[in-house]
Amino acid sequence: MQFFTEIKKWLAEITEIALLLIALGVAVEILFGNTVPFFGQVIANITGILKTLGENGLVGLVALGIIMYLFYKKRATN
């Protein structure tokens, strides 16, 4: 079981890094526009995801609730 605990820790850290990179991408795109390599279109992608969730009505709302639950659960266990 120690193996699975270590994998969960690694995945939590990778998720944390990914969220930080998304936040950095949003900040860079706001400051410099979408011309910066590797960070272009971050806001457009996030907007597209939110639009897709919104178009799906209740299913999108449930999916968003599950995603938020998983993020808050991860933060509560740290």
Which is more confident, 10 or 77? 10
Per the structure, the complete domain to which residue 68 belongs is given by 2-77
Instruction: Report residue 73 as tokens.
Output: 């659960």
Query: Which pLDDT does position 74 carry in this prediction?
Result: 60
pTM metric for this prediction = 0.62
Distance (Å, whole) CA 33 – CA 16: 24
DSSP letter string over the chain?
Answer: -HHHHHHHHHHHHHHHHHHHHHHHHHHHHHHHGGGSTTTTTHHHHHHHHHHHHHHTTHHHHHHHHHHHHHHHHHHHH-
Question: For residue range 17-34, what is the model confidence (pLDDT) as tens digits?
Answer: 888 888 888 888 888 877
Share of the chain above pLDDT 90, in %: 0
